[in-house]
Amino acid sequence: MQILVTGGTGYIGSHTVVELQQEGFEVVIVDNLSNSSGDVPYNIEQITGTLPVLEVFDLCDLGKTEALFSNYPDIEAVIHFAAFKSVGESVNEPLKYYHNNILSSVNLLKCMKDKEVNKMVFSSSCTVYGQPEQLPVTEQAPLRKAESPYGNTKKIMEDVIFDTTRASAIQAILLRYFNPIGAHESALIGESPTGIPDNLVPYITQTATGKREFLRVFGNDYNTPDGTPVRDYIHVVDLAKAHVVALKRLLESKTLSKCEVFNLGTGTGYSVLDVIHSFEKVSGVKLNYRIVDRRSGDIEKVWADTSYANRELGWKAEKGLDEMMLSAWEWEKKLKN
């Protein structure tokens, strides 16, 4: 049995490939390497002892996607990560995001339906909740209009997948991630943003190595304990493990409906300053940061109600903020050398 992992050389994808291989699954990766390196499979091999297959092409190419499924008839399930993910870029180039994220997913689902590959785990985001009225946010919270075209592609894809499960034999689990950070303990895989990072943690670690001059903290006048926005940061390895649990749930036909949804977070919110202080503690580096104006589109606070995922998946995030920040720092130092 083989598992197809789209976007498997990317940040969350690569960590998930490691966990899958360590659980005995054979993995085929498809990735166009638009935001990742073709070396990642070799780093995965160093961790697990097994080199995953990598097919380099774009899922927007329907012919190549069909050929992939014909060439790998043992694929039983798909974990779908491949997507553009920069919120800021998506605002400036919406068509790039709608074209890539949606067409690739529609092609994938078409091929799955044709080849009767009927199980999909999808990489969604807590962005679909916007600023929730009630915290912690449960899976039943109303979905809101996305702040960015990127967020909207996640929302649209959830709808596309849901509708497809209703009209075909495909079953899916949608995983709504909160804020994944950190890196594998080996420091062989991690997040390597191209250009200037959008996200807080790579910006912190790049500032600490001197690659960036200072971190801008976007606003300290929010209605939160220290005035900076609060998020539910989750270690990428905890997140990766949840994908294996979700996959097994599909393969063992334990799902309660054709399209299930789970929040993946720790259930604890931390502010931007909490994250900075944790980083300073575990790294011993004093971070150069300045409070600046709010960033447009940022929400004030969000953290997950994880009780449904904990109970139903039998999965719980285990790693705390310090461990997340230390692993992110070890990875950044390795990248620099």
- Whichever of 182 and 229 has its CB closer to ligand UFG, that residue is 229
Stretch near ligand UFG under the rule CB under 6 A, chosen from 39-47, 63-71, 210-218, 308-316: 210-218
What's the closest the beta carbon of residue 299 comes to ligand UFG, in angstroms?
Answer: 6
Strand-pairing partners, residue 196, are none
Q: Which of 200, 239, 245, 250 binds ligand UFG (CB under 6 A)?
A: 200
- Whichever of 112 and 326 has its CB closer to ligand UFG, that residue is 326
Task: Tell me phi and psi for residue 84, to 5 degrees.
Answer: -75, 150
- Whichever of 135 and 170 has its CB closer to ligand UFG, that residue is 135
Residues 86-115, one symbol each (x = binds ligand UFG by CB under 6 A, - = not), give: -x----------------------------
Count residues contacting ligand UFG (CB under 6 A)?
20
Establish if 298 lies at the interface with ligand UFG (CB under 6 A).
yes
- Whichever of 41 and 132 has its CB closer to ligand UFG, that residue is 132
Closest to 275 measured CA to CA, from 322, 209, 206: 322
Q: Which amino acid is at 90?
A: S
- Whichever of 46 and 92 has its CB closer to ligand UFG, that residue is 92
334 vs 225: CA distance, rounded Å: 34
Per DSSP, 126 falls in state G
- Whichever of 57 and 218 has its CB closer to ligand UFG, that residue is 218
Stretch near ligand UFG under the rule CB under 6 A, chosen from 28-36, 58-66, 103-111, 212-220: 212-220
H, E, C per residue of the chain = CEEEEECCCCHHHHHHHHHHHHCCCEEEEEECCCCCCCCHHHHHHHHHCCCCEEEECCCCCHHHHHHHHHHCCCEEEEEECCCCCCHHHHHHCHHHHHHHHHHHHHHHHHHHHHHCCCEEEEEEEHHHHCCCCCCCECCCCCCCCCCCHHHHHHHHHHHHHHHHHHHCCCEEEEEEECEEECCCCCCCCCCCCCCCCCCHHHHHHHHHHCCCCCEEEECCCCCCCCCCCEECEEEHHHHHHHHHHHHHHHHCCCCCCCEEEEEECCCCCEEHHHHHHHHHHHHCCCCCEEEECCCCCCCCECCECCHHHHHHHCCCCCCCHHHHHHHHHHHHHHHHC
What's the closest the beta carbon of residue 30 comes to ligand UFG, in angstroms?
Answer: 21
- Whichever of 3 and 200 has its CB closer to ligand UFG, that residue is 200
Establish if 231 lies at the interface with ligand UFG (CB under 6 A).
yes
45 vs 61: CA distance, rounded Å: 28
Q: Which of 100, 104, 125, 164 binds ligand UFG (CB under 6 A)?
A: 125
Establish if 258 lies at the interface with ligand UFG (CB under 6 A).
no
Establish if 218 lies at the interface with ligand UFG (CB under 6 A).
yes
Joined tokens for residue 27:
């993995």
What's the closest the beta carbon of residue 49 comes to ligand UFG, in angstroms?
Answer: 32
Q: Which of 36, 118, 127, 266 binds ligand UFG (CB under 6 A)?
A: 127
Q: Which of 60, 77, 189, 215 binds ligand UFG (CB under 6 A)?
A: 215
User: Which residues are identified as catalytic?
Assistant: 150
Stretch near ligand UFG under the rule CB under 6 A, chosen from 113-121, 135-143, 214-222, 247-255: 214-222
What's the closest the beta carbon of residue 197 comes to ligand UFG, in angstroms?
Answer: 7
Where does this chain bind ligand UFG (CB under 6 A)?
Answer: 85, 87, 125-127, 151, 179, 198-200, 203, 215-218, 229, 231, 272, 295, 298
